[in-house]
């Protein structure tokens, strides 16, 4: 057992043979969750409550939804305090910061708040970037006091494929992600880690109008589980960027260097003859075919691609892709196999099985 010697008491306050209660980390750790009335954040709160973490739940307006979250968490034996503030309003954000300054033990912060995708650029930036920046700067001093802290930003995998008409949303998420990278670089050596968790489409009302009903999307509990695992150190990550999609979680460092590395590894010249008549096809050759078909830009990581993930890979184009692969590889897909080919990794498994 590791014991921390307490040396912050004045001599006139110390009493002979005085003992202090030893508390578990979860007894003293408080997690701040923004956007706590949202479907992902609600699941985060409940999962943290099960583990015994105390909670501060930020919401834009008081509602039955947030009251229900508070009730469910407190039923599990933890404190759950609601703070109401519109993060898009600088004045209300300032008032929230004043409240947070009175809390000395916020050592985890989950920024799940975000306006709707069709909101104004100003509102999206105020919430996804400026609020993240202001709140982080407010609580980092208390994290430094204990040399421990986690800041988790719920980003978006839309930055990987930049869908049309999402420019304001992706720009705001990119700004938040850049801030996360900045504080991680500055403070990780002091025990404060900052992460961006970038999920794909999640089955929530937030994205209902944009999701394809024919695809299998993430559920809020899956995203929440990754958040809780980060906070409780139950996930091994490389870098501070986590890309979560149905069926896979990729960790690393977002940006130029990772993409170039991926592109260089798959920059192999396979002729049509080699691909069609080889008895086995490796992963790189399939990547080449997919990149050729979708005309992806240099450096795009097709390895993690799929329907409604890779630019241009929609339902209609998916059928064209299967016909293209049949022609180039000399194989046949059945109608029952179409649903098994909507992600690159699943498509590779099926192709290799057919070539054996």
Do 212 and 274 reside in the same domain of the chain?
Answer: no
Kindly report the CATH number assigned to the domain that includes residue 281: 1.10.1200.10
Per-residue pLDDT, 266: 37
Please write the tens of the pLDDT for every residue from 197-235. Answer: 999 889 888 877 777 777 778 899 999 999 999 999 988
Residue 262 has pLDDT above 70, yes or no: no
Q: Is the torsion defined by CA of 135, 140, 145, 150 positive or negative? A: positive
Helices 167-187, 132-146: inter-axial angle, 10-degree rounding: 20
Number of structural domains, the chain? 2
Q: Which string of DSSP letters, residue by residue, matches 33-72? A: EETTTSHHHHHHHHHHHHTT-EEEEEESS--HHHHHHHHH
Q: Are residues 61 and 172 in the same domain?
A: yes
Residue 8 inside a domain? The answer is no
- The Cα–Cα gap between 231 and 209 comes to 31
Q: Of 226, 254, 282, which residue is a domain's last?
A: 254
**pLDDT confidence band for 298 (50 / 70 / 90):** low
Mean pLDDT across the stretch 136-158?
Answer: 94
Tell whether pTM > 0.75: no
> Does 13 map to a domain?
no
Which of 228, 187, 180, 181 lies closest to 31, judged by CA?
Answer: 228
The reply to whether 31 and 159 lie within a common domain is yes
Least confident of 11-25, 122-136, 212-226: 11-25
Q: In the prediction, which pLDDT does 196 show?
A: 97
Is residue 280 pLDDT above 80, yes or no? Answer: no
Structural domain includes residue 7: no
Domain that includes residue 77, residue range: 23-254
Tell me if 245 is assigned to some domain: yes
What average pLDDT does this structure show over 322-340? 84
Which H or E run contains 99? helix 90-100
Token output for 319: 């059928």
Residue 159: pLDDT band (50, 70, 90) is confident
**Torsion (CA) 86, 118, 309, 210 in degrees, nearest 10:** 110
% of the chain at pLDDT higher than 70: 83
Residue 300 lies in a domain: yes
- The answer to whether residues 320 and 207 belong to one domain is no
Residues 95, 143, single domain; the answer is: yes
Higher-pLDDT residue of 18, 189: 189
Q: Are residues 181 and 309 in the same domain?
A: no
Residue 121's nearest CA partner among 59, 56, 166 is: 166
Higher-confidence residue: 129 or 336? 129
Give yes or no: residues 343 and 229 share one domain. Answer: no
pLDDT for 3 beyond 80: no
Is residue 1 in a domain?
Answer: no
Question: What mean pLDDT comes out for the span 273-280?
Answer: 43
Same domain, 46 and 142: yes
Which one has a higher pLDDT value, 222 or 253? 222
pLDDT at 275 over 50: no
Q: What is the pLDDT of residue 2?
A: 56
163 plus 306 within the same structural domain: no
Per-residue buried b or exposed e for 166-203, using 16+ beta carbons within 10 Å of the residue's own CB: bebbbbbbbbbbebbbebbeebeeeebbbbbbbbbbbb
Within a domain: 17: no
Question: Strand pairing partners for 154?
Answer: 197
> Does residue 191 share a domain with residue 152?
yes
For position 212, which CATH number holds? Answer: 3.40.50.720
- Among candidate residues 254, 275, 305, the one where a domain is terminated: 254
Task: Check pLDDT > 70 for residue 304.
Answer: yes
Same domain assignment for residues 302 and 157: no
C-alpha span between 125 and 162 (Å, rounded):
17
- Average pLDDT along the chain: 83
Whether 55 is in a domain gets the answer: yes
pLDDT score for 343 = 86
Q: Which comes out higher in pLDDT, residue 57 or 274? A: 57
- 295 or 137, which is more confident: 137
pLDDT of residue 208: 78
So what's the pLDDT on residue 26?
43
Which value, to the nearest 10 degrees, does the dihedral of the CA atoms of residues 261, 265, 266, 268 take?
Answer: 130
Among the candidates 254, 276, 294, a domain finishes at 254
Q: How far is CA 31 from the centre of its chain?
A: 17
Whether residues 237 and 337 fall in one domain: no
Query: Which pLDDT does position 10 carry in this prediction?
Result: 54
Interacting residues of 147 by C-beta distance below 8 A, sequence separation 6+: 190, 191, 192
Higher pLDDT, 214 or 49: 49
């Amino acid at each position: 057992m590791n014991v921390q010697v307490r040396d912050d008491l004045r001599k006139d306050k110390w009493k002979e043979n005085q003992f202090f209660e030893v508390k578990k980390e979860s007894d003293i750790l408080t997690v701040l969750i923004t956007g706590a009335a949202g479907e992902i954040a609600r699941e985060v709160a409940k999962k943290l409550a099960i583990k015994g973490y105390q909670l501060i739940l930020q919401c834009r307006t008081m509602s039955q939804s947030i009251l229900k979250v508070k009730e469910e968490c407190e039923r599990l034996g933890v404190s759950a305090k609601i703070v109401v503030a519109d993060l898009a309003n600088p004045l209300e954000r300032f008032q929230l910061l004043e409240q947070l300054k009175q809390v000395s033990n916020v050592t985890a912060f989950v920024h799940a708040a975000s306006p709707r995708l069709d909101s104004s650029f100003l509102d999206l930036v105020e919430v996804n970037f400026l609020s993240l920046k202001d709140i982080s700067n407010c609580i980092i001093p208390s994290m430094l006091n204990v040399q421990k802290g986690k800041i988790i930003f719920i980003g978006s995998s839309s930055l990987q494929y930049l869908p049309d008409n999402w420019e304001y949303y992706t720009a705001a998420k990119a700004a938040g992600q850049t801030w996360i990278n900045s504080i991680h670089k500055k403070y990780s050596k002091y025990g404060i880690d900052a992460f961006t968790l970038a999920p794909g489409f999640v089955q929530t009302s937030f994205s209902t109008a944009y999701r394809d009903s024919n695809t299998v999307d993430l559920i809020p509990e899956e995203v929440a589980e990754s958040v809780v695992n980060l906070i409780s150190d139950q996930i091994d990550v490389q870098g501070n960027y986590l890309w979560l999609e149905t069926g896979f979680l990729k960790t690393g460092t977002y940006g130029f260097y990772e993409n170039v590395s991926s592109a260089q590894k798959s920059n192999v010249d396979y002729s049509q003859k080699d691909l069609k008549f080889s008895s086995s096809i490796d992963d790189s050759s399939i990547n080449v075919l997919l990149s050729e078909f979708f005309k992806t830009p240099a450096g795009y990581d097709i390895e993690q691609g799929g329907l409604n993930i890779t630019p241009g890979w929609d339902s209609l184009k998916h059928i064209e892709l299967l016909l293209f692969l049949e022609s180039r590889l000399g194989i046949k897909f059945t109608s029952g196999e179409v649903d098994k080919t909507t992600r690159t990794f699943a498509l590779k498994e099926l192709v290799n099985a057919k070539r054996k």
